[in-house]
Each structure stands twice: as structure tokens, then as C-alpha cells.
Amino acid sequence: MPKKISELKESLRSEQSIHTDFRETMTYGEYLSLDRILSSQNRLSGHHDEMLFIVIHQVSELWMKLLLHELTAAIDEINAGELQSAFKKLARVSKIQSQIIGAWDVLATMTPAEYLEFRGSLGRASGFQSHQYRLIEFALGYKSDYILKIYEKDPDIHRELEQAYKAPGIYDAAIGALSRGGFAINPDLLDRDFTIIYDGDPTVAAAWEEVYRDTERHWELYQLAEKLVDVEDWLQQWRFRHMKTVERIIGFRQGTGGSSGVAYLRNVLDHRFFPELWNLRTTL
């Protein structure tokens, strides 16, 4: 049976080691800077549901910050041949993605009528402008130069995005791992123009097929391939939930940032980040 309230209070009092004097000691809230975080939900309208809209997007940006932290470290580790460490981080990336997907389910509780009450307050601000989402796309190999113009207002963010735009992504690191593993990879791929979206190569396809046909011999590369498939799978589910949530709330109206909204989100669903890893499912 549940404990009585008096018993619970007595149990708490018996915890003699619990600290209660924080006059000269850092608190939980101070460590997490909760004063700044919890005072950053600034509604521009008086509508109740704008708080939901702000919090969901802020939480998603925090998850994306952690995702980028793990993803960029995984790329460095793949390049260094430390695949087991990279696998841990990529597994965490997939779990983070599942959390962001879950956020769309909460936002989907907002109705079109509720959103219209404060949509005008957003001006041209839009999730389309999320620079962290662009950094994720760049790290996965999806490069779009016209996107960079959006960020010229902030030189630091623009500089960070330009560097990521020119840098090799995680699939380039994986192709390098194939080459170091003894596979005959087209040398042009190892020092290519990384601003160009990768769209496949026969030598990479042949290498991955050999990995999948002899998984015991190439176990680490096989694990790497499956971790990459996990990341892309979750990203596409993220994109799909985003698209359906937008369709549910605003239909096929233009986005606040000027994009075509649902039509744009549907188009990007067709892109494959790691084409050979999906094609071999058919060719094996």
C-alpha cells in the first residue's frame, strides 16, 4: 500500500546528509543557468499557446546542440580510426533524434485556429532558419549554398556555416575508412570538393557490398554502415513528422520564412544521404 504523507515526511527528515544551506555553494539551478533558460520564453502575443510553440522549438534546438556535439566528435573519431568510440556517439545521436521526433507529437496538439492567434507575431522568423539544423545537414553531406545568405546578419554563425559547408561530412569519413580498410576506392573521392552533394560512386558501392557479404571479416565497417543507416532513418522520420505537423497546423500555406512549407518538406524527403547503403538492400 502507498505510504502515508506523514511517513513520507519522516523518511525525508531522516536523510541527514541532504544539504540545505547553499549560501556559499553552487546550486542545481546555478549550475544549469536555469535563471537564463527559464526566462527566455518571451511571448510576442498574449495567446496561451504561443508558450507551447516557443518551448518546443527551444527544446529542439537544445537537442540539436547535443546532437552536433556527438556527431562532430564521431566524425573526428572515424577519421582517426577509433570506430568503437564513434559507434557509441552515433547510437546516442539516434536516441537524441527520437526525442526531437517526440517533440513534434506535442506540437501537433496545437490546432490551426490556435496557431493563427499568434502566427502574425512571428514576422519572417521560421524554423527554416535554424542554423543548427543546417549544420546537421552539412555534417550528413547535404550542402546548399543559397542557404548561407540567410545567416549574413550574424557573422559568427555565417562563418561557422561556411566552414561546415566546405568540410567533409560523416559519409566522407566513412568512405575514408573503407579506403584505409583496403578497399579500392576511387581516389578522387578522398580529396574532392566537399561542397558538392555526394550522389554515389561504383567503387563505394562495391566496397559496401563486400562488407555486407562478409560481415565477420569486416565487422567494424559493417557496424559503421548500420549506425549510419540508423542516423539517416531517424532523420527522415524527423523530417516526415515535421512535414505532417506543419500540414496539420497550416496545411499548404507558405511558411513564415517564405518557403513553400509542406511542399518543400516533402521534396527533401526524397534525398538520400548515404545512397549506397540503401541501394545495396536491393542488390544484395
The answer to whether residues 102 and 147 belong to one domain is yes
55 annotated ligand binder: yes
57 annotated ligand binder: yes
pLDDT of the residue at 252:
86
How far from 160 is each of 79, 131, 245, CA to CA, in Å?
20, 9, 30
Residue 43 has pLDDT above 80, yes or no: yes
The answer to whether residues 65 and 151 belong to one domain is yes
* Digit-coded pLDDT (tens) for 93-124: 999 999 999 999 999 999 999 999 999 999 98
On whether residue 93 sits in a domain, the answer given is yes
**Cβ 212 vs Cβ 279: under 8 Å:** no
Please indicate whether residue 127 or residue 96 has the higher confidence score (pLDDT): 96
151 annotated ligand binder: no
pLDDT of the residue at 22:
81
The answer to whether residues 77 and 209 belong to one domain is yes
Question: How many Å apart are CA 177 and CA 79, to the nearest integer?
Answer: 7
* Digit-coded pLDDT (tens) for 169-220: 999 999 999 999 999 999 999 999 999 999 999 999 999 999 999 999 999 9
**Grid cell of 38 as nine digits:** 527559464
Please indicate whether residue 2 or residue 279 has the higher confidence score (pLDDT): 279
72 annotated ligand binder: no
The answer to whether residues 156 and 263 belong to one domain is yes
The answer to whether residues 74 and 141 belong to one domain is yes
On whether residue 270 sits in a domain, the answer given is yes
pLDDT of the residue at 268:
84
Residue 127 has pLDDT above 80, yes or no: yes
On whether residue 155 sits in a domain, the answer given is yes
In b/e form, how buried is each residue of 16-38, taking b as 16+ CB within 10 angstroms? eeeeeeeeeeeeeeeeeeeeeee
Residue bearing cell 548561407: 148
Radius of gyration for the alpha carbons in the chain, expressed in angstroms and rounded: 23
Mean pLDDT of 239-268: 86
175 annotated ligand binder: no
DSSP state of 202: H
106 annotated ligand binder: no
Percent over 90 (pLDDT), the chain: 79
The answer to whether residues 29 and 142 belong to one domain is no
CA 119-250-132 angle, to 5 degrees, is 70
pLDDT range class, residue 130, cuts 50, 70, 90: very high
On whether residue 45 sits in a domain, the answer given is no
242 annotated ligand binder: yes
Mean pLDDT of 241-259: 86
pLDDT of the residue at 1:
52
Least confident of 1-15, 149-163, 210-224: 1-15
Domain holding 7, by residue range, is 1-40
Contacts of 80 (CB under 8 A, 6+ apart): none
pLDDT of the residue at 3:
64
The answer to whether residues 171 and 125 belong to one domain is yes
Identity of the residue numbered 118: F
Positive or negative, the CA dihedral 118, 121, 125, 130 is: negative
**Grid cell of 140 as nine digits:** 550528413
CA 155 to chain centre: 23
The answer to whether residues 183 and 243 belong to one domain is yes
The answer to whether residues 31 and 80 belong to one domain is no
The answer to whether residues 132 and 20 belong to one domain is no
115 annotated ligand binder: yes
Tally the domains of the chain: 2
- With the CA atoms of 161, 163, 93 and 203 taken in that order, what torsion angle do they form, in degrees rounded to the nearest 10? 120
The answer to whether residues 259 and 172 belong to one domain is yes
Residue 12 has pLDDT above 70, yes or no: no
Q: CB neighbours (10 Å) of residue 93?
A: 24
pLDDT of the residue at 2:
62
Q: CB neighbours (10 Å) of residue 60?
A: 23
Query: What CATH number does the domain containing 56 carry?
Result: 1.20.58.480
The answer to whether residues 31 and 169 belong to one domain is no
User: pTM of the prediction?
Assistant: 0.91
